[in-house]
Every structure is written in C-alpha cells, then in structure tokens.
A and B are shown apart, each in its own frame.
Chain A
Amino acid sequence: MADNERDYSWPAPEKRSLIGKRLNRVDGPLKAAGKAKYTYDVHPPGMLFGKGVRSPYAHAKVASIDTSAAEKMPGVKAIHIIQGPGSEIQWAGDYVVEVAAVDEPTARDAVRAIKVEYQPLPHFLDDFTEPKNLPEDNGPLSPRDIFNMLDDDDPESTKRAVSAIQQRGIKFQVTPQLVERMKSNEVPEEVIKALQSAPMKEEQKTDSPYQKEAETVKGDPDAAFKQAEVISEGVYGCPVITHCCMESHGSIAEWTDDNHLMVHISTQNISASAPQYFQALSIPAGNVHIHQDHIGGGFGSKFGVDRWDIAAANASKKAGGKPVRHMLERDAELEMAGSRPSFYGRVKVGAKKDGTLVAWESHTWGTGGPGSAGAPQVPYVVNVPAIRRQYVNVRTHTGPARAWRAPSHPQACLITMGALEDLAAKLQMDPVDFLLKNIELTGTRANVYSEELKIASELMGWKQKWRPRGQNGSGPVKRGLGVSIHTWGGRGHSSDCALTLHPDSSVDIKMGTQDLGTGTRTAILMVAADSLGIPMEQIQLNIGDNQYPPSGPSGGSTTIGGVSASTRRASVDALHALFEKIAPALGAQPGDLEAANGKIQVKGNPAKSMSWKNACARLGAQPIQVVGKNPGPGNLIDSGVGGAMMADVSVDTETGIVKMNKMVCVQDCGLVISMKTAESQCYGAMIMGIASTLYEEKIMDPQTGRMVNPTMDFYRLAGIGDVGDLVVHMMTGKGYDERGPIGLGEPPTVSPMASISNAVANAIGVRVPFMPITPDRVLAALNQGANHAAV
C-alpha cells in the first residue's frame, strides 16, 4: 500500500484508549519532586558566572569603556565588550559589557568595577497620549499598508491601492516569493502588477516617533453612521506588560573544542537556535549542540538567541572554553526580556435600535518599543459591515516587544468587546443577547460561538445574575458580569517524529521539540500509545535536543497540531511495518491487523492475536525505524477555534478594589488529546488574564527613562487568593473532534481583559477605560461618571 493511501486518521471515539482522557501529566512527578532540571539548574564542572554591565540610559551613545580595574580582579576570567564606543543604546538596561568570573559575587564586583561613559541622547517614552502632529502619509508604502487598503468586498479598494502605489512608491523588494505569497492570499492581479512596476523609495528620516499606517476603509462608514440609531463613543486601552517568566532568560555556553559549542538554553525553539549562533559567531550550525530538559515559562518571549546568550558564548571562548552561565536577574528580565505592546484607541460604533451593528470607526495607537508593535485588528471577531480604522505605531525607547500569548488578540479583543458592551448598555440590551443578535458577523464560526455562549451562560448563571448597568444593588459593593468571545488560528507547525520499535518490545521517540509546561510530552505519549495499543510507560520519549529530528518553535499554538500529527503518522507507519512482519504468522494480510491492549490481532477476531512482546521479538536484529512528518499525508489537523469567556466581579465603590468572584471559560480546540493539561491551559490563561487586567503594568519613568517597577513586589502578579472560582468547559464531540487537534496556548488568553473590564463596567455603571483596573482608576472613573451625570 502506498503511503498516501494509508489511513492515518484519528481513531473513532469508541476506539480511543487514551486520546481525550483526563490523565496526569507524565513529567508531573519529576516536577513535584523538585527534580526536573531547568537551564537555570545546569551546573557543569568549572562553570563561570556571567554578568553584564547595563546601560542606565534609555537612549545614549557609548562614549568610552574602561575595564582595566576589573581585569585585575582575582577570579575574573573573561571580559567581553558587547556594545563598544560609538554604539547607540535604545533602551535602559541594555547590555554593554559581559564579564565571567569564578563565582557570582566576584562577577557582581567586576561589573561594578567597569567604567562606562555615555553620551546621553533624548529619549521618548510616551505611548499613552494620543498621537498628534502625525507625519504626512505620503511616504513609500509597506506591505502592511497595502494589506490595510485592500478590502475583498469593495472593488474600489483595488483602484485606490493601485493609485497609492503609483503615487507614493514602495519601500520593499517585490521578490518572486512575495508575489507567490500575495497570489495565495488572493491579492488582486492589478495590485501585484502595480507593485512590480512601482518605484522603490527610501523612507524619509523623521524625528517623529509616530508611524501612521494606511487607513482601512470597508463599506461606506459615513453613510452607515447616518443610518445608525444609537451610537456609542469611548476610549479603551492597555499598557505594555511583561512576560515575567519565572525562569528568567539565559543560557550556559561552553566551547567543548575550538569549533564546537554546547549550549543549555531556556528556549521555546530547540530546533532553530543553532543557526542563530551561526549568524552571530560564524560557527557552523551543525557544530552547535542545543539542549533543554525543562523550561520555566516562555509565553512567547523565548524564541530567539539573545544578546546575553551570545555574550556568554563569547566570554566562554575568552575563558578557554569554560562553561559560562548567564541567566538574567529579575530586573533585567522585566526591563528587557520581553513585553507585550500597548494598545489604546478611540472608538465610535453604531447600531440600529434592535441591536444590529452597522458601523465602526477607530483611531488606535500603541508601542512595541523601538520597532513595530504590529497593529491589532479591530473590530475583533465581530466583522462590522462598515469600517474606518487608523493605526499609529509609536516608537519608544523601551525594551523591545516580543510575542506574548496570542499576539495582538487580547488588546484588540479588549477594545472591541469594550466598545460593544458600552453600545449594548446604551441600547439597554443584555450583552449576550447583543452578541447573539450579531453572531453572523463572526463568520464561519458563528455556530460555535452561539453554542459556547449558551453553555457559558448556564455555567455562570448569567440569566439569573445579570442586571443592567446601574442596577447592581444600593450598597457600596456592586456586582457585575461581563462577556467576551475570541478566536485563534493555530495550525500545526512542521515536525519530524523519529520512532523506533525495538526487538525487545520497547519503543522510543526522538523529537527536537520542547514542553513549555503545556503538556507536550504527555500529549505525544498519549498519541503514540493510543496508536500503538501499548501503555504509555512502554515508550521512551526524548525531546529538548537539536540532535533529534527538528520540530518547529512552540509558539502561536502550533505545537500540538505539529507533534500530534507527526507522532500519529510515525506510529501508523511503524505499526504497518510490524504488521507486514507478523501477518504470515497470524495467517492474515497486514491490512487485516490492528493493535490494541498490548496485542496485535486480526480485526474482528481478537482470538487470533499475538502479544506486543512476541510480535517485536520477530523483528530479529533489525528494529523498525520510521520518521513521521507534519505536514504529511492525511488530513489530521485544522486551524481556527472559538471561545467564550464570562467574568463575575464585585467592585467596592468606596475603595475602588475589584474582587474576582468567578470566571467561566468555554473553549474549542478541535480534538482534545490530553484533557487534564488542556484544561490547565484554560485555567492558567484566565489567571494570567486576571493579572494583566487588575495588576500588571510596565511603568516607565519619563525623566530617567527607566522602568520604575522591575521587581516582583512592584510588578505584581495574581496570587492564589486573587482569582475567584474558575470554571472550564472544553467543547468536544461531533463538530469538534473530527477537525483534529488545534492549539490551545493562545485562545483562552484573549478574552480575560475584555470580560473582566466589561464586568467592572456593568457593576459600577461606568467604563474604567484603561488597564490595569487599579483602585485609583475605578475611583477616577466613578468620579468622572458622576460629573457627567451632573452636567
């Protein structure tokens, strides 16, 4: 049978022995015993401690560096200049010089003994104020500008885009690959032609921190607003927050000889880290060995090999190859090792009296540090028929943005669902009814959302508990409910699974993937064991090393799709090879056999069977070795999920303190492989979301340009007593299972801010526009509301 005819599809519900079950995570005992080894715990003999001199300025030129005193200190083994004189520092805390010493106290002293002089330059940090005095938008266009201009439903948009391309020119190369990509994204032929003959132009250098993106217009928003019977206007937004992984970023680098580098690194990207060393150190990627057993959190911030990792490798070289550990201290972690872009917006949204949405207009802005924040697309999920939107990217001298679970979605969701709930309040409609009224605007997943909103309402007791704004009791403590819906893509990344069936009946799997605590190990083993019909304990799983066949980075909820599909294919192929070996002995054709309960048996005739052990013994000396791949034959995975979330809060209108009573998460992720760890993703997402709604903010000091709160007592996370009751319901069964597994790391993180902030608005009758919803902001909003009422 040719590969492409083989049946790889997921087992039918009655055939699943493990898939979908609620099992303990396989590395749980190791972690609970404190024996799981993280990068931070790796301590090879002779290891040196790396530390860095960090810039106190947000924007400066390095003028001079004097390392002479540090060089003389006993115990200092290497000093490496990371950014020499003339370098321009773009954010406070950036590394300038690396030292490696025999112990940590000595490294610390050496850092203090190094003198760096800076020439401070003016810095800009204000991402909160609405951008004014924008530069004229007549400069050359970026690909995103063009994307923004195009609207499938509006043929005029093609003409507008073509004339803009001809007049303004473009600032990027139109490569054949880009043309291919545009074609597959259905960019109109006229636009591609215009691009191919468009003049390339340099972007004018400007002092403005603002980059205006081309306006998006869909339908006729002006006419639509005229038809609207109720219009709501408001401002909404959330500040930059950090990833705050419990295990900070960092690595241990060791030159095992002149040409080979051994790296233990805290990473979400085992298989693609080595090439990043090649770029920095010109060492062939094949000579870089990357290893990681466990990672203490990543959340999107650990895809790259960072400046400090390269510095550790350089310091190791200078120290004769000795291993150098550089793990970031907490302040460096919070200042530089990842932040989520801010997003603020002024929104106008209109509907008919019956709640039918007709028009949306938004002016939004945000910062991702010195680069781009990546404009969150609003309105989110609910595709209002007529839209005008504008986004301004604000460049600031702060640590650069990194992907943060579901990049751009929580921000877009907050602004959209906030504006919609304000409009629903004005319409005097229950926001759940309002969403359901407009559910067709969500497109292909309308049914999923409807079903989820129904289940969430029941789990929350929405109908019994919900009251219109301003009717939440007469005492000082007001109770309120909020709702939000969200989506995410999450198709599986590419993944190779090397699976070996040994004659001694053991099985091993090797994959260059990583388990972020999402349960990747558990899911791989469940798929393999279910497919092979043997217990999970019989399979030895090896991940976390770039000597194993590659898997993609764990980001964008693409891991489960990638690794489950490659593991399923490997298992089916290996079984098939085994069937071919033993079919004659069972007097059957290979195609008539199946594996179940530790046996190979003839389908429909379990009496004709052979134990797994005996079957493997027939392999002789030769194990069966296969590599299953994703993408590959058979339709095993899909993309695109829907989820609904509801929050129940109490707000003390005298102190401004918000208390979480309860949250409900109803989530679809296609076929659930590992139920317990899937639910944990949802619990965790709600808890993380509570923190970003109520506590988290990277506060920058406009005077010094530094982060004010780079410690965990001032950068506050949610504690065990802060989160209220949490309820999770996973969508399963028909309509979900047959889609195959779809990633879950991102989707449930999207709606918490929106649902909680809506619950607060419902409780106190006014919108607290900006996150985090701290007591002072609640009191200010109440005051302002009272003033409004008085006017």
Chain B
Amino acid sequence: MDDLPEKKDPKRKPKSGMSRRNFLKISGVSAVAPFAAPLIAATSVLEVEAQAATGMQGPGKVPVTLNVNGKNLNAQLEPRVTLLDALRDQFELTGAKRVCDRGTCGACTVHLDGKAVYSCSVLAIDAQGHQITTIESLSQDGKLHPLQQAFVDNDAQQCGFCTPGFVMACKAFLDHHPNPTMEQIKHGVSGNFCRCGTYAGIRAALMQAAKTAKGA
C-alpha cells in the first residue's frame, strides 16, 4: 500500500489507502461517479480545526494572512473565498489554474505543508497557519527545477494550462517516491487531467527527474 499516494489530503488518510480516482476505477464506473462528491471533501478536517482556532467567521470580509512561498501575505477576504481564488486574484500568483473548481482536475494543485492539495477545494481562511508552496517558487533565479526541466525536455506540455498543477502534483509524488515505477506513476499522478494529452511526456519527465535527482 505504501506505493499508493495520499497526496491530496494533508491530514486525512483514507482507510483503504486508495486515491479517489483509483477508487472510481476499481468500482468499475468510468463515466459517472455519483459518490465522488463526499470523497473530495478534503477540507473538512481543516475546516473544523480552523473554526476551533478562530471561532465563527464571516459572512463579511475578514482579515486573512497566508504564508505563501515563505512570505506572509495579507488580504481582506470573505470566508467563502477559496485558496485558489485568493492566490490568483489577490496575490497575482496565477500559476495555479481554475479549471473544474471542484476538486477533479488538479490544475489548481499547490502544496500545503509539503503535500499536494487542490487549492480550489481549500478555503483561504483554512489555509492560514500552513506553509503554502506554489509553482512560482519552484524555479529559483530564473533556473528551472530539474522536474520542470524534465517537463520541457520531454515536451510534457502543449497548451500548458494543466502544466503548473501537474508539476506540483509530480513534485509531491517524487518527494514521496524517489524511485518510481511506471505503475506507481500511473496511480500517483492520476488526480490531474490534461486535455491536450501530454501523458506520454509527463511519464517520461517523471522518469528523467527521478534519475536526475539520484545523480545529483
């Protein structure tokens, strides 16, 4: 079970040790998955914690402080604003993309305390007190991270809209699986979609990045 990733939820470990997409696959339902909704409630634990810590919030704007890429950023936000929208519309960190806006596609993936989360499914107020890492911090001084370079080398992107989310998902996956097998890759980043169809490149990029990391 160790090779199956629990990357989307920083707190909760599903008992089955299965990713959501895996669960759908195993249940034999390919097009319609009526039970997807409860499984994406990745924020529930955080939500409870946040309320306990801060009391009831809203419905008007409240002050919010987010630690993003090592910096504290402040804004006045309604409690219903997601982490994704806060990053994009308040702080101009537009690497994370809004695509499905309900925890399916992974285009909004960022790291919360080193784990990949769908930032569209985390409220900004709940992300307070956590270390948020976005794609913008991955390349330093204009130099791409080896994983990003591997995306470039293997043409793991076409339109590129899914790419930042994929890079962040792959980064978290590699952090936990430094020597991935192809089977692990197929499960490990199956929480992200690409419409242009760049999966062949992404698989190759993950293999290359793992090798580079070992060589380093």
Given A697-B31, A713-B33, residue A32 in contact with residue B157 (CB < 8 A): yes
B138 contacts partner chain A, Cβ-Cβ < 8 Å = yes
B176 contacts partner chain A, Cβ-Cβ < 8 Å = no
B47 contacts partner chain A, Cβ-Cβ < 8 Å = no
Residue of B97, B159, B190 with most partner-chain A CB within 10 A: B159
A457 contacts partner chain B, Cβ-Cβ < 8 Å = no
Q: Tell me the smallest distance from the CB of B168 to a CB of chain A, in Å.
A: 9
Bound CA–CA A519/B152 (angstroms): 13
Given A34-B134, A330-B100, residue A246 in contact with residue B190 (CB < 8 A): no
In the complex, the answer to whether A40 meets B163 with C-beta atoms within 8 Å is: no
B177 contacts partner chain A, Cβ-Cβ < 8 Å = no
Bound CA–CA A694/B104 (angstroms): 18
Interface residues of B in 126-146 (CB under 8 A from A): 134-136, 138-139, 144
In the complex, the answer to whether A676 meets B28 with C-beta atoms within 8 Å is: no
Q: Residue B186 contacts which of A33, A105, A721 (CB distance < 8 angstroms)?
A: A721
B23 contacts partner chain A, Cβ-Cβ < 8 Å = no
In the complex, the answer to whether A246 meets B136 with C-beta atoms within 8 Å is: no
B6 contacts partner chain A, Cβ-Cβ < 8 Å = no
Q: List the B residue with the shortest CB-CB distance to A696.
A: B31
Bound CA–CA A104/B90 (angstroms): 12
Interface residues of B in 33-82 (CB under 8 A from A): 33, 36-37, 40, 78, 80-81
Given A680-B158, A721-B190, residue A33 in contact with residue B148 (CB < 8 A): yes
Bound CA–CA A694/B28 (angstroms): 12
A734 contacts partner chain B, Cβ-Cβ < 8 Å = no
In the complex, the answer to whether A720 meets B158 with C-beta atoms within 8 Å is: no
Given A297-B161, A775-B30, residue A105 in contact with residue B199 (CB < 8 A): no
In the complex, the answer to whether B138 meets A33 with C-beta atoms within 8 Å is: yes
A548 contacts partner chain B, Cβ-Cβ < 8 Å = no
Instruction: Flag A667-695 by CB within 8 Å of B: 1 or 0 each.
Output: 00000000011011101111110000011
A28 contacts partner chain B, Cβ-Cβ < 8 Å = yes
Interface residues of B in 95-111 (CB under 8 A from A): 95-105, 107
Measured between beta carbons, the chain B residues less than 8 angstroms from A535 are none
Measured between beta carbons, the chain A residues less than 8 angstroms from B40 are 713
B213 contacts partner chain A, Cβ-Cβ < 8 Å = no
Residue of A34, A688, A695 with most partner-chain B CB within 10 A: A34
Bound CA–CA A726/B33 (angstroms): 27
A43 contacts partner chain B, Cβ-Cβ < 8 Å = yes
Q: List the A residue with the shortest CB-CB distance to B183.
A: A721
Q: Tell me the smallest distance from the CB of B54 to a CB of chain A, in Å.
A: 19
Bound CA–CA A695/B96 (angstroms): 26
Q: Tell me the smallest distance from the CB of A393 to a CB of chain B, in Å.
A: 27
Instruction: Flag B151-169 by CB within 8 Å of A: 1 or 0 each.
Output: 1110111111111100100
B92 contacts partner chain A, Cβ-Cβ < 8 Å = yes
Interface residues of A in 765-786 (CB under 8 A from B): 772, 774-775
Measured between beta carbons, the chain B residues less than 8 angstroms from A517 are 157-160, 196
Q: Tell me the smallest distance from the CB of A317 to a CB of chain B, in Å.
A: 23
In the complex, the answer to whether A105 meets B80 with C-beta atoms within 8 Å is: yes
Instruction: Flag A624-654 by CB within 8 Å of B: 1 or 0 each.
Output: 0000000000000000000000000000000
Q: Tell me the smallest distance from the CB of A594 to a CB of chain B, in Å.
A: 32
In the complex, the answer to whether B30 meets A774 with C-beta atoms within 8 Å is: yes
Q: List the A residue with the shortest CB-CB distance to B95.
A: A34
B198 contacts partner chain A, Cβ-Cβ < 8 Å = yes
Measured between beta carbons, the chain A residues less than 8 angstroms from B197 are 683-688, 718, 723
Interface residues in A, total, Cβ within 8 A: 69
Q: Tell me the smallest distance from the CB of B106 to a CB of chain A, in Å.
A: 10
Q: List the A residue with the shortest CB-CB distance to B40.
A: A713
In the complex, the answer to whether B30 meets A657 with C-beta atoms within 8 Å is: yes
B83 contacts partner chain A, Cβ-Cβ < 8 Å = no
Measured between beta carbons, the chain B residues less than 8 angstroms from A680 are 155, 158, 198, 201
Measured between beta carbons, the chain A residues less than 8 angstroms from B33 are 713-714, 716
Given A40-B98, A684-B197, A719-B190, residue A246 in contact with residue B162 (CB < 8 A): yes
A247 contacts partner chain B, Cβ-Cβ < 8 Å = yes
A709 contacts partner chain B, Cβ-Cβ < 8 Å = yes
In the complex, the answer to whether B95 meets A677 with C-beta atoms within 8 Å is: no
Q: Residue A32 contacts which of B100, B152, B194 (CB distance < 8 angstroms)?
A: B152
Q: Residue B201 contacts which of A683, A686, A696 (CB distance < 8 angstroms)?
A: A683
In the complex, the answer to whether B31 meets A695 with C-beta atoms within 8 Å is: yes
Instruction: Flag A695-712 by CB within 8 Å of B: 1 or 0 each.
Output: 111000000000001011
Measured between beta carbons, the chain B residues less than 8 angstroms from A683 are 197-201
Instruction: Flag B181-209 by CB within 8 Å of A: 1 or 0 each.
Output: 00001110110111111111111000000
Residue of A36, A656, A713 with most partner-chain B CB within 10 A: A713
Q: List the B residue with the shortest CB-CB distance to A329.
A: B101
Q: Tell me the smallest distance from the CB of A543 to a CB of chain B, in Å.
A: 15
In the complex, the answer to whether A772 meets B161 with C-beta atoms within 8 Å is: no
B89 contacts partner chain A, Cβ-Cβ < 8 Å = yes
Bound CA–CA A27/B155 (angstroms): 10
In the complex, the answer to whether A294 meets B164 with C-beta atoms within 8 Å is: no
Measured between beta carbons, the chain A residues less than 8 angstroms from B28 are 655-657, 775
In the complex, the answer to whether A712 meets B155 with C-beta atoms within 8 Å is: no
A336 contacts partner chain B, Cβ-Cβ < 8 Å = no
In the complex, the answer to whether A28 meets B152 with C-beta atoms within 8 Å is: yes
Measured between beta carbons, the chain A residues less than 8 angstroms from B94 are 34, 37-38, 40-41, 43
Q: List the B residue with the shortest CB-CB distance to A687.
A: B197
A25 contacts partner chain B, Cβ-Cβ < 8 Å = yes
Q: List the B residue with the shortest CB-CB distance to A27.
A: B160
Instruction: Flag B2-27 by CB within 8 Å of A: 1 or 0 each.
Output: 00000000000000000001000100
When A and B form their complex, which 5 residue pairs have the shortest distance between CB atoms, in order from nearest? A34-B95, A687-B197, A296-B161, A517-B159, A31-B160
Q: List 23 A-B contacts (CB under 8 A).
A: A32-B149, A32-B151, A32-B163, A33-B144, A34-B163, A34-B167, A105-B78, A245-B161, A245-B195, A246-B99, A246-B107, A246-B161, A517-B157, A677-B158, A684-B197, A695-B30, A713-B103, A714-B31, A714-B36, A716-B32, A720-B199, A723-B199, A774-B31
Given A43-B92, A719-B199, 18 more pairs with CB closer than 8 A = A27-B160, A32-B148, A33-B144, A34-B167, A246-B193, A248-B99, A294-B160, A299-B195, A517-B196, A656-B28, A695-B31, A696-B31, A709-B32, A711-B100, A712-B102, A719-B193, A723-B200, A726-B200
